[in-house]
């Protein structure tokens, strides 16, 4: 039956306990306990039920078309999957996300299926004189030209420095600094998998375990690019690593395949290259590189492209080390967890672009695969595989190659492209590579 007004009422989910109740109630940010969306294809209204009022402002962002609503910090105690993208037929709204965007700042991002302009954004008390409030974001279908105009105007008005990210820790000279980069966070949930698995949560838990294992070795200083459920842009992740004096960056993610891809499983280690090793690697890089857009961060025109940086000679040398480390990780993980059919791949990941320290990106597994999700949810699996990764870090630095001057072999290895199969084209053993017993 066709309904003129399609009302999408979502189940109300309240986190039973946030766990960290602030000391004084007046310091606490308003709590959002429910969200619902009504969308009839001509107009849409997204409503959040809040414990108190917030001042919110909305603007349009193009490519992909979305509406970004910024506000002071709100504690969203709502199941993030409530706004996951789905096919609504005639609807204006494709999906929506919400969460922390920076210190003291929250954001709602509404992905549009059709051009729509902001009709109104208002917070009103649920009853006269009451504190609990409703934040209502009203959208109206508009012509593509009108949306483009609104986005251009908002871009001009909103041009300014990106919000400051967390301060990086001071460099420690005597121990190698291992930067762990749990992907996504805050307003950007990453991939949503089966059984309610969310990438940002799983990879953060993994990073904490890997931090514990590395620190237990007593030979490394470990720095995280994000702390808790916060949004950090890709550029800021690289900047935090550099300011921390990174010797190595390990970015941690989990992959997701739609459709008939649920049988694909296992961990994959990626390094940076200007040409993707295969189509699958290109897909993963495109997906992970879109994290900023998912959170509503505008493209920075002045930011150099990955390809520009990669032609730098220093980058080529650094890549050789990243490649060595990636091989070491795969070797250590072998037998301790399921590896992807093709566990070593490369593509143009923005977060791996730093030319001054080696970096790899690990996709722990697939959120679309039941066994992988079970593994990633298991503390025992995390401990076992993080221990293997920590051993790979130890071997990498024990070999002394990370700090030594790059050899011609290393440069040659970096210069050689990976084959379509994803393995090293040269296939040879690089002198000094940590030997497996």
* 57-61 sheet: strands from edge to edge: 57-61, 66-72, 105-112, 93-102
Neighbouring residues of 251: CB distance < 8 A, sequence distance ≥ 6: 181, 183, 237, 349, 351, 352, 359, 360, 361, 362
Q: Which is nearer to Zn ion, 29 or 190 (CB)?
A: 190
- Distance, in Å, from the CA atom of 410 to the CA atom of 318, rounded to the nearest integer, reads 9
To Zn ion, the closest distance from the beta carbon of 343 in angstroms equals 17
CB nearer to Zn ion: give 101 or 366: 366
CA angle 250, 256, 261 (to 5 degrees): 135
Tell the smallest beta-carbon distance from residue 322 to Zn ion (Å): 18
Residue among 253 and 323 whose Cβ is closer to Zn ion? 253
Residue nearer to Zn ion on the CB measure, 255 or 394: 255
Q: Are 34 and 12 a contacting pair, CB within 8 Å?
A: yes
**Which pair of tokens denotes residue 195?**
């059984």
Q: β-strand 267-272 against 339-347: which pairing, if any? A: parallel
Structure tokens at 385: 């595989």
Nearest CB to Zn ion, comparing residues 34 and 232: 232
Q: What's the min distance (Å) between Cβ of 376 and Zn ion?
A: 13
Q: How far is the CB of 190 from Zn ion (least distance, A)?
A: 4
Nearest distance in Å: CB 340, Zn ion? 15
Q: Cβ of residue 199: shortest distance to Zn ion, in angstroms?
A: 5
The residues of the shown chain that bind Zn ion, judged by CB under 5 A, are 183, 190, 253, 288
Q: Which residue, 150 or 198, has its beta carbon nearer to Zn ion? A: 198
Closest approach, Cβ 253 to Zn ion, in A, equals: 3
Coil vs helix vs strand at 370? helix
Instruction: Find the DSSP H helices in 173-260.
Output: 199-216, 234-243
3-state secondary structure of 249: strand
Give SS3 for 145: helix
Shortest reach from residue 183's CB to Zn ion, in Å: 4
User: Closest CB to Zn ion among 75 and 346?
Assistant: 346
* Whether the Cβ atoms of residue 296 and residue 359 lie closer than 8 Å to each other: no
Q: How far apart are CA 211 and CA 389, in angstroms?
A: 10
3-state SS, 79-114, equals: CHHHHCCCCCCCCCEEEEEEEEEECCEEEEEEEECC
Least gap, CB of 394 to Zn ion (angstroms): 26
Q: How far is the CB of 361 from Zn ion (least distance, A)?
A: 8
* Beta-bridge partner residues of 255: 366
Structural contact between residues 84 and 192, judged by C-beta atoms closer than 8 angstroms: yes
Which lies closer to Zn ion via its Cβ, residue 30 or residue 365? 365
Cβ proximity to Zn ion, 226 vs 253, nearer residue: 253
Of 135 and 238, the one with the shorter C-beta distance to Zn ion is 238
First to last CA, the chain: 67
Residue, CB closest to Zn ion: 253
Q: Burial level of 363, CB count in 10 A (0-12/13-18/19+)? A: buried
């Amino acid at each position: 039956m066709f309904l003129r007004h399609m009302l999408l009422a979502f189940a109300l989910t309240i986190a039973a306990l946030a766990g960290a109740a602030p000391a004084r109630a007046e310091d606490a940010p308003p709590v959002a306990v429910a969200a619902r969306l009504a969308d009839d294809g001509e107009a849409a209204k997204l409503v959040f039920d809040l414990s108190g009022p917030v001042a919110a402002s909305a603007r349009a962002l193009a490519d992909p078309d979305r509406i970004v609503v910024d506000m002071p910090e709100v504690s969203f105690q709502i199941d993030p999957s409530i706004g996951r993208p789905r096919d609504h037929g005639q609807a204006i709204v494709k999906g929506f996300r919400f969460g922390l965007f920076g210190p003291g700042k929250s954001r709602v991002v509404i992905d549009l299926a059709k051009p729509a302009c902001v009709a109104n954004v208002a917070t009103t008390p649920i009853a006269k004189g009451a504190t609990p409030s409703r934040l209502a974001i009203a959208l109206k279908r508009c012509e593509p030209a009108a949306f483009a105009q609104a986005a251009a105007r908002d871009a001009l008005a909103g041009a300014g420095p990106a919000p400051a990210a967390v301060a990086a820790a001071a460099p420690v000279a005597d121990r190698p600094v291992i930067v762990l980069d749990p992907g996504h966070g805050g307003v950007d949930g990453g991939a949503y998998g089966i059984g309610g698995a969310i990438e940002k949560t799983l990879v953060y838990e993994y990073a904490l375990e890997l931090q514990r294992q590395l620190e237990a070795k007593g030979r490394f200083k470990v720095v995280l690019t994000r702390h808790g459920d916060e949004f950090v842009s890709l550029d800021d992740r690289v900047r935090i690593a550099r300011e921390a004096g990174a010797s190595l960056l390990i970015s941690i993610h989990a992959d997701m395949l739609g459709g008939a891809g649920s049988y694909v499983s296992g961990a994959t280690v990626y390094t940076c290259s200007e040409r993707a090793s295969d189509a699958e690697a290109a897909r993963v890089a495109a997906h992970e590189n879109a994290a900023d857009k998912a959170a509503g961060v505008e493209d920075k025109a002045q930011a150099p492209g990955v390809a520009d940086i990669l032609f730098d000679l220093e980058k080529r040398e650094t890549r050789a080390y990243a490649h060595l480390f990636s091989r070491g990780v795969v070797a250590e993980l072998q037998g301790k967890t399921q590896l992807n059919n093709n566990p070593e791949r490369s593509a143009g990941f923005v977060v791996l672009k730093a030319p001054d320290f080696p970096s790899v990106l690990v996709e722990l597994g697939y959120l679309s695969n039941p066994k992988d999700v079970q593994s990633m949810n298991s503390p025992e699996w995390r401990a076992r595989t993080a221990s293997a990764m920590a051993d790979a870090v130890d071997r990498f630095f024990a070999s002394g190659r990370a700090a030594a001057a790059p050899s011609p072999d290393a440069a040659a290895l970096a210069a050689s492209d990976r084959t379509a199969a994803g393995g090293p084209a040269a296939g040879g053993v690089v002198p000094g590579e940590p030997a497996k017993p």
